[in-house]
């Protein structure tokens, strides 16, 4: 599985938010996409998942064009996007949310097995199976969002700011879980403002600045880069 984003442009009406950015996500890797607020990270993920149309460039999965496909078709290809702010279905139970995650799959034993695996990863979801999702805490909701996405058996999981608004302990926990998911064979595209944690996890990372890629490199390299440290890690 290789995702290639080539020179894509995305505009909101007359305003262009991405001015032609390119990056690649290799199989089984963890790719980080960092940048300040408003840089265009979410826009990039939405373009990949088919929520926003491209005004230029192309996106390929294993050499095949996927731009122009409807979001549901992209999910079927194995690319799943956990949106910023979790966006779980608040008036449905935890279980119903997870079931919807498997919407594109045929109901069979493998779905049951994956549910078991998700419950193993996130035991708290099992405990709260029948509770309305809207009543979960922020961290629990993030877990539910991730679990829901995993239920579609993704090859590429895109996480948009999974640590946003969580306590430091919960943040660490989410990153640990992300690592675990990657270890199980799922490729990750991780968007973060919390650049430190993202860079720690990422095999390769890109820095996005007002709609363009400013820098890229191995995660550990970027973590030591002067400019990144100043601008994104808050160090002097």
Partner 1 sequence: MDILLQFFINALMLGAIYALAAVAYTLVYGILEMINFAFGELFMFGAFLVVSFMLPQVSLFGVMVPMPGLPFLLAAPLAILFVAAMGYLIERCAYRPLRFAPRLAPLITAIAVSVALQNLAQSVWGAQELSYPSFFLLEAKPIQIGGAYISMVEIAVIVTAAVVMTALHFYVKKTRMGRAMRAAAQDVEAAALMGIPVNRVIAMAFIIGSGLAALAGIFYGAVYLFAHPHMGFMPGLKAMVAAVLGGIGNIRGAMLGGIVLGFAETFGAAYLPNGSAYRDAIAFGILILLLLFRPQGLLGTRLPNRLADRGAMAFKGSASAIDAGLARLSAFFAGRDLVRYASWGVLAVVAVSVFFIFPSPYWARVFVFVLIYALLASGLNIVVGFAGLLDLGFVAFWAVGSYFTSILFVEVLAKGYGVDMSSVWWLFYVNLLLGGGLAALFGMMLGYPTLRLRGDYLAIMTLGFGEIIRLVATNWVDLTRGPMGIRGIPVPSLFGYKLGSPVQLYLLGLVLLALAVFLIALMVRSYLGRAWVAIREDEAAAEAMGINTARYKLYAYSAGGFFGGVTGVFFAHSQQYISPLSFTLFENILILMLIVLGGMGTLAGPIIGAAIWVVFLEVARDMPFIQQHHELRFMALGILLVVLMIFRPQGLLGQKRQPLMMS
Q: How far is the CB of 99 from partner 1 (least distance, A)?
A: 7
**Cα–Cα distance, 234 to 226 (Å, whole number):** 11
Q: What is the CA radius of gyration of the chain?
A: 17
Tell whether residue 163 is a contact of ligand ADP (CB under 6 A): no
Residue 83 interacting with ligand ADP (CB under 6 A): no
| Interaction of residue 91 with partner 1, rule CB under 8 A | yes
CB of 13 to partner 1, least distance (A): 4
Query: Residue 169 binds what, of partner 1, Mg ion, ligand ADP, none (CB under 5 to 8 Å, by partner type)?
Result: none
Task: Write 223-228 long-range contacts (CB < 8 A, 24+).
Answer: 223/196, 223/199, 228/34, 228/195, 228/199
d(CA 139, CA 145): 10
Site for ligand ADP in 27-46 (CB under 6 A): 35, 37-43
Residue 208, phi then psi, degrees to nearest 5? -105, 130
User: CB of residue 81 vs partner 1: minimum separation in angstroms?
Assistant: 5
35 binds, among Mg ion, ligand ADP, partner 1, none (CB under 5 to 8 A by kind): ligand ADP
Q: What residues contact 181, with CB distance under 8 A and at least 6 apart?
A: 121, 146, 150, 157, 188
Q: Which residues pair with 34 in a beta bridge?
A: 192, 207
Nearer to ligand ADP, 133 or 188 (CB): 188
Interface residue with partner 1 among 13, 37, 109, 183 (CB under 8 A) is 13
List of residues contacting partner 1 (CB under 8 A): 12-15, 49-53, 68-72, 75-76, 80-83, 87-92, 96, 99-101, 103-104, 148-149, 152
């Amino acid at each position: 599985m290789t995702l290639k984003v080539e020179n894509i442009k995305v505009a909101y009406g007359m305003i262009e938010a991405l001015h032609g950015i390119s990056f690649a996500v290799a199989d089984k890797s963890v790719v980080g996409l960092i940048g300040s607020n408003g840089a265009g990270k979410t826009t990039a993920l939405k373009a990949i998942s088919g929520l926003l149309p491209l005004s230029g460039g192309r996106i390929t999965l294993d050499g095949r064009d996927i731009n122009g496909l409807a979001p549901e078709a992209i999910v079927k290809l194995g690319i799943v996007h956990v949106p910023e702010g979790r966006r779980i279905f608040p008036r449905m139970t935890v279980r119903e949310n997870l079931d919807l995650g498997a919407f594109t799959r045929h109901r069979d034993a493998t779905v049951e097995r994956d549910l078991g695996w998700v419950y193993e990863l996130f035991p708290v979801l099992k405990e709260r199976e029948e509770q309305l999702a809207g009543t979960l805490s922020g961290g629990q909701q993030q877990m539910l969002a991730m679990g829901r996405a995993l239920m579609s058996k993704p090859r590429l999981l895109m996480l948009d700011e999974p640590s946003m608004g969580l306590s430091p302990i919960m943040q660490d926990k989410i990153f640990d879980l992300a690592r675990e998911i990657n270890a199980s064979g799922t490729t990750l595209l991780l968007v973060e403002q919390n650049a430190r944690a993202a860079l720690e996890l990422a095999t390769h990372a890109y820095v996005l600045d007002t709609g363009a890629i400013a820098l890229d490199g191995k995660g550990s390299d970027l973590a030591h880069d002067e400019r990144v440290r100043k601008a994104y890690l808050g160090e002097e």
